[in-house]
Amino acid sequence: MDRPYTILSCAMSVDGRIDDTGPQRLRLSNEADFAEIDELRAECDAILVGAGTLRADDPRLLVRSPLLRRRRREQGRTENLLKAVITRSGEIDPQARLFSTGDAGAVVYTTGAGVEIARSALERRPDDDPPADVVDAGDPPTAKAVLADLADRGVSRLLVEGGGHVHTLFLTSGLVDELRLAIAPFFVGEEDAPRFVLPGAFPHTPDTPMRLLEARALGEVAVLRYRLGEGEGR
Ligand SMILES: NC(=O)c1ccc[n+]([C@@H]2O[C@H](COP(=O)([O-])OP(=O)(O)OC[C@H]3O[C@@H](n4cnc5c(N)ncnc54)[C@H](OP(=O)(O)O)[C@@H]3O)[C@@H](O)[C@H]2O)c1
């Protein structure tokens, strides 16, 4: 299948939680890690999150560094990445910051039934917002359909940035090439805190492990990089 090289990036506590149950997003990373993630974003063509992350965090998913944005411009690319959201219901907030920021537009992947719901929500946005498409990616939406559509849009490198349901969907699909984890030096310890992944049939088992590419300290944060598929070299 023609699909983008896919990198999944996540910050978690040592007990595998990607947030706590409080109203503010939990900081699981440090400035050095944020800067590396910004570099990683700048090297990609698209960035994808789930509707749960959109609702919880209202992220903008921009390249933060003016230098990195300039480098992209000089390469003839947009300053920011194409943003992709995946929703089963199609119920997305048209006021979400993701849709009003950036210069590369957005795509919402949903089910057949979700298409009209998402389209009518997006029609309520101001006319000068960046363009946003809605695509039927199956019921439930699949990673395979999302990746095929992104490839058709010229995306050759995709960054998946959460949350737990989307991690599970992509990692169980076997269509992720690289996993980057940032491990914060603390526990969350709450039963209902969102997890890195939910139970599922992951292709990487004790018999078919991932390949560890790198383990390194960024201050007190541990960064682990794994190769999952054949894909690129180091
Ligand atoms: N630490 C990190 O690196 C990091 C990164 C991102 C997010 N987060 C945290 O993650 C939490 C959100 O995670 P989450 O797991 O609740 O949400 P999520 O994975 O972002 O999104 C889940 C949503 O995806 C949609 N979806 C589409 N296809 C699906 C499928 N086949 N299976 C399941 N869901 C599908 C559903 O949307 P509908 O409900 O619209 O149908 C579902 O509610 C937040 O607390 C956020 O702060 C942490």
37 lines ligand 1 (CB under 6 A): no
The one-letter code for the residue type at 195 is R
166 lines ligand 1 (CB under 6 A): yes
122 lines ligand 1 (CB under 6 A): no
193 lines ligand 1 (CB under 6 A): no
Element (H, E) at 46: strand 46-50
What is the model's pLDDT at position 229?
A: 76
59 lines ligand 1 (CB under 6 A): no
Distance CA 118, CA 42 (A): 28
Nearest CA to ligand 1 atom 45: 19
Successive 10-residue mean pLDDT values, the chain, 234 residues: 93 98 95 98 98 96 98 98 98 96 97 98 92 97 98 98 97 98 98 98 95 97 92 50
What order do you get walking across the sheet with 221-227 strand by strand? Answer: 132-136, 106-110, 82-86, 46-50, 157-160, 5-12, 178-183, 221-227, 211-218
| Residue 109 alpha carbon, nearest atom of ligand 1 | 27
Locate the DSSP E strands across 71-200.
82-86, 106-110, 132-136, 157-160, 178-183
Spacing, Cα 54 to ligand 1 middle (Å): 8
Distance CA 5, CA 38 (A): 18
What is the model's pLDDT at position 41?
A: 98
What is the model's pLDDT at position 162?
A: 93
Q: Between β-strands 157-160 and 106-110, what pairing exists: parallel, antiparallel or unpaired? A: unpaired
Domain 5-227 sits in CATH at 3.40.430.10
pTM for the model stands at 0.96
